[in-house]
A = this chain, B = another copy of it.
Amino acid sequence: MEVKTSKFGQRMSELTGVRAIMKDIIETLKSAEGKSFLNFSAGNPVVIPQVDELWRKITTELVNSKDFSNVVGRYGASKGYEPFIEAVLKDYNNRFNLNLTEKNILVSPGSQMLYFVAANTFGGYTSEGEIRHLTLPITPEYTGYGGVSLHKECIKGFKPLIEIFEKDHEFKYRLDRDNLTIDKNTGCIFTSRPCNPTGNIMSLEEVNFLVEKASANSIPIFFDSAYAAPYPALNFTEMLPVFGGNVAHCVTLSKAGLPGERVGFVLADENIIKPLEAFQTNACLHSSRMGQAMATLAINSGELQEICLTAVKPFYMERMIAMQEAAKKFLPNTIPWFLHRGEGSIFAWIWLRDLPISDWDLYNKLKEHQVIVVPGSTFFPGIQDKSWKHQYECIRLSLTVDKPEIDQGIKIIGKVLSECYS
């Protein structure tokens, strides 16, 4: 049988970003026939034993509490589970010296849903037919942004400046202020800090520049804080988050051990929260409450913040260091490879300057050598200039593999790169 889909049905059926390659990776792994792959493609965080144990303990507590019946057996407020809201507000107000009230928060079923709702609440078209862009001021960016707007043409990505530390084989992305357009046709700004996937942490100066631009144009700026403190605290270097004014601070508990439960929230001005809350209510009533109730206990006891600092952050920092060491050891010094400064993320990001083949060709070549990486070009949503070569010169490596495998994998990547560049 055949059915016809609407314009949005067609648009939203597109596989965007990393998902476009995941199918190939899954098929490769399925048809492996005894071959074992070094798989650096995973976006799924590692289940860290201490974190797993905490959530088991907390869930047992919840099941044995009076609240359980209410959490599971009742519909909830569209804004979120009240005790969770209270716990989050208390923690953030204390920690960052804020005065947030329940008017400043919305709980969402994971942050992807929040970005979908925000992209179409503030971006898209006005009633008069004027376009409002979803602006990504500094790419590469979170691949999921590529799929959230109902109007593909509304997503507008900007190229970064590249600061190169030639001798160290390191580099860092910088905001390109001069070539950034934020004006009356901008609907909202999305940016991840620390950046998923590169681990870049924008400086406070860059942040303030963006916030001022947003404010001058009366548009919200969403800081995707999926890797920021206090949960999961995956920033390896110091960073100060910003709040207030046009800033929407977006958090998810996915990297703090709850990806399966889909718990996210946004902290922002009431005028940003209100339309998001209404849209979300019409679209899905409210978020699942079990994850929220679990997080309530873990935040109120302080255990969630604690375990992020003592287990989650060290875990990925060690992996990042292992990656840096392996790169220095096994990637040929003669090749212009550059590792992005590991400022906080669950990925390493490598730029191969003047790579003679495309990132996809490199992906395929590495696959032949039983190493799976993710080609970087899937992380540049909304970039118009298809001739800009940097976007085809990067690869993403997951920090979820362990040290011996990192060494093994980087060694093979080094060999393949030698062939490519020779």
Q: B-contacting residues of A (Cβ < 8 Å)? A: 1-10, 12-16, 19, 43-45, 47, 51-52, 55-56, 59-60, 63, 68-76, 109-110, 112-113, 116, 120-127, 132, 144, 147-148, 150, 187, 215, 218-220, 245-246, 254, 257-262, 269, 271-272, 274-275, 278-279, 281-291
Contact = CB atoms under 8 A, between A and B. Distances in A.
Given A15-B278, A262-B288, A124 B8 contact: yes
Given A4-B126, A5-B275, 16 more contacts: A6-B123, A7-B124, A8-B150, A12-B275, A52-B69, A55-B68, A55-B72, A60-B63, A74-B259, A109-B109, A112-B283, A112-B285, A113-B283, A113-B284, A284-B284, A288-B288
A47 B60 contact: no
Contact of A261 (B8, B132, B289): B289
A150 B13 CA distance: 17
**Count of identical protomers in the assembly:** 2
A218 B262 contact: no
A197 to B, nearest CB: 15
A220 to B, nearest CB: 5
A43 B285 CA distance: 12
B63 A3 contact: no
A260 B282 contact: no
A336 B51 CA distance: 63
A257 to B, nearest CB: 5
Contacts of A218: 1-4
A89 B336 CA distance: 53
A347 to B, nearest CB: 14
B12 A282 contact: yes
